Copies of this chain bind each other. A is one copy, B any other.
Amino acid sequence: MLVSQVSFSLSPRARGCHLVTSDVRSALAPHLAWVRAGTCHLFLQHTSASLTINENADSDVRADMEMWLNSAVSEKTKWRHDAEGPDDQPAHVKSSLFGVSVSIPITRGSLALGTWQGIWLGEHRNDGGSRHLVATITGSAMDNEKK
């Protein structure tokens, strides 16, 4: 059993739902390579964005998700917490709805995502900037001959 931990940032995105699987894979490639079986825990260190697993092919799914989030958590609600603008408190609500972390199984050096699964960043602020993550990888090591 081994554990590795790495911090990395995602570059700024516009408000909306974004597929970030390839960014995550790039950041974690050397840390995933040694794992025979384990888990990859991704943790976003923010309170106005989220991580979720969803569809990786049709960008309409992400556009529809953003539409749903904006209708379910309206900027027109009379929020108490509005110091940073109308997108401030709705972003906090959306962040807890989807959550700030995901855990993904690792099998023989790769994330064991389903065929249609990808990792999404939910950027819930209009100008959220870059987002910082901590990845913790826990698992059993591959035998030398299988590396």
Contact = CB atoms under 8 A, between A and B. Distances in A.
B138 A55 contact: no
Interface residues of A, number: 63
Contact of A55 (B43, B47, B120, B140): B47
A146 to B, nearest CB: 15
A114 B47 contact: yes
Chain A contact surface mostly:
mixed
A92 to B, nearest CB: 5
Given A54-B96, A61-B81, A134 B116 contact: no
Interface of A: 1-5, 37-39, 41, 43-47, 52-56, 58, 60-61, 63-65, 67-68, 71-73, 77, 79-81, 83, 89, 92-93, 95-105, 107, 112-117, 120, 132, 134, 136, 138-140
